Structure 1
Amino acid sequence: MHSLKIRDELRTERSFINQALDSLADIFYVIDSAGNVQRCNEQFATLAGYTDEQLANLDAVSLFPDDEQDAVAGAIEEALSTGHSTIEAEFRTTEGKRVPHEFTADRLTDQNGDLIGLVGTGRNISERTRRERELQDQKEQLEQFAATVSHDLRNPLTVIQGRLELVQAEHSSDHLAVIETATARMERIVEDLLWLAREQQEIGSLEPVSIDATAEAAWNLVSDPADEAELYCDYEAETQPLVKADTDQFRHLLENLFRNTIDHAGLDVTVVVGGIFEDTNAFYIEDDGPGIPVEDREKVFEAGYSTSESGTGLGLNIVKRVADAHGWDIRATESSMGGTRFEITGLEVVE
């Protein structure tokens, strides 16, 4: 009687385990050290289009298309030798369809530690694969767009600027100044569009950078010495910690912030850059311009939003993208001078 009770308990437990495995949406399998199927769940059998009897001792590699079999065999050998492997491969269904899965395999041993085979799962990644293909298509479209912008817009723009300089050397007119301003704005739009198309949110290696040194370099690129705009740093260089950032992207962020300030606050604007490192790792850029209305302070980071005729509507959106890519937060508020203050928080300080 005791042995019958044990047998019934084992049968009940086995039935429970089988039901649990069959309820999985993922493939479950056990193969021996020779790579032959020893056990699988209902999802595995249904997808393969075989009965349990047909699957018993079937070579697992044979369930994959010919061009996938070498990679699958290699993954099995890797798991047997190292204890684990992961591979993306297309499982072949009974209708001949190829369904992409991500398979994992782990070494399976008995109670004495002797190798039995492998146990693993396979997850359908059709949706993920579809999204990856869509993203790749979008990337290729953006690259094509960038090439079009670079060639079909830059070249005529260069011609216009060159001819404009020749005309300005011989004639003086307010109309020419308007054309010069318009071409400068077009050039900035082209630069911003190229950045958005090519760079997106790709951040390279993070290096220790000085905020004030990078700010001065960015300011020198966007400001005109003939104007009255001035930049001040609100702390001593000796007390300023370095922060981790992609140097080129960080400078690009500052360039766009400074351009935005000059566009909206005027050529005689005063700009202050400072750090807040006691309570939070942050820095700010503020000016004495007209400021941004409270209701517009979140909108300014949207692509295409601009209240200046000389603005591109892309600069602050690029700033937001670079900040996001670094894991920083940025917000617009009122400055101590009554103008605009941009605060960027979440920086990683170099100890």
Structure 2
Amino acid sequence: MAGLIARTRRVYRGQAAVLLAGILVPAGANLASLADLGPGATVNLTPPSVALLGVAFAVGIFKYRLFDLVLVPRSSVVENMGEGYVLLDAANEVVDLNAAARSLLDGDEGRLLGRNARRAFGVDLSVLDSFEGDPVTETVTVDEGGDQRYLDLSVSRVEAGRATGRLLAVRDVTDRVRLERRFRRLIEASSDMVFVLDETGRGDYASPSVERVLGYDPDDLVGRRSFEDLTVEDADHEQATGVEAVAEDAPSQAAATWRRVLEGTGTDPAESSRIRFEVCLETAGGEVRTIEAIARYLVEDPAVEGIVINARDVTDRVEREQELARANERLDQFVSFVSHDLRNPLNVAMGHLDLAIETGDEESLRKVKRQHQRMETMIQDLLSMAREGRDVEEEELDAVGLDAAASHAWRNVETEGATLEVTGDATMLADESRLPNLFENLFRNAVEHGSTSPPSQTPEDAVEHGAESDPAALTVRVEPLPDGFAVGDDGVGIPADVREEVTESGFTTESGNTGYGLAIVSEIATAHGWDLAVTESDAGGARFEFTGVGLVDDTGDDAERTDPGIASEQSPPGGGE
């Protein structure tokens, strides 16, 4: 007993001390009476000592709750729990329940005890059928006059000696469920896409907006490794497929990004679990969209246990930025044109004009006129570049026949006896007001530089110059391609080392030319979204290939062609060389 007093807490120590005193005092009094010691020699101390023992036990029972195992009785704890419990026997009859269970299940203890749980409560208790020994939890809905509450029902096994039963724990999770559903509705209604991946990169969840943006069924992305069926590209269209490309294609920026996403290693050490990146994804319809995304590495967060990716389609924004960049480039070209290109012929004209004033030489005046004509051509070319560089909108596209467009443009150019051959026809989608300008500048460039000159002639003269040659010997060929068309000639061609430069604004090898013709061609192609490649023709001349062109099936009902000549006659001719 003394050891118990020394080891236990205060409440148990007081309880044990009272009991020990109640035992020792009567025992000492009896010994004193038997030994005739002290008052025991003249007075029988047994009756008062027994009375003192009774007092000690009364204090232990009523003050220190002798038969309670804890300071607060278990019944009080259970009765005041916010979580309800129902104790069931093996036949699922109610043995006991607390106040919280009565409140949550809307029952009365007197009516519920001894009744089968399925008949006693107006709640779906199918969770009892799912219980096979291991704890199981289900969420059920309770309708209260049009208002719904949500309860978590958990069933576990309880044993008391040889008797076994079931403990049904009831918890009100209405606030949690409503909050979860609110967040889910927000995600489902958002235009942004939300993906959740496990730590290996397999999809656990994809929001409904994935179908609206990319055209894929969100369920089809669940269980797949990091969108391995989607084509992942860098912003500059460098191909990389999924995370597997990391080992095989180390230089791929997209693959390196996905590696950082899966490892949770951001570029900012202060926020390593947050990774911002931009990729291009191919939609179900084959269209490439630019996607901006933020990945959060939350694998160790027990509420998520995955990698959360918030993504949005920024294709329109990127296209606007690219258009703005091209507009700024054209503005720079205009500034350069005004400050340099236009100043040169103006200075020459002013010099000849001063000479004419001093000498009265008519030849000087004719040179002034030629310089003015050259400035007029340069201004017209610059205006044409400004117009043609604007992106072609979808509503501006028309079905235009390749043969008709090329033939009409050929009639608008001084061909000097050169020959045009159109080796096939196709119907393409193009802006009928700009397409003639593209062909006219290509034809004009071919005629001005091209003849079947002997190999000994300087190759640099093949680009926008006025070399002495025989244009009548030149043949220009226009041919359809599977996804576009090509224009080539049998002239001297363009040297390989300058093919990337010939479409730059102002590039020319002849001081008398403006150098804007092929730049206008490039601007028109870019405005349509076409790809332009400068190569060598089979005959050794220059060849310009346009790919990515939208083609129309001539057999379809929508293959209604327009006459490109109508629009071209209304627009000024662009870009003389």
TM-score of the aligned structures, taking structure 2 as reference length: 0.32
- The structure where helix makes up a greater share of residues is 1
TM-score (norm 1): 0.49
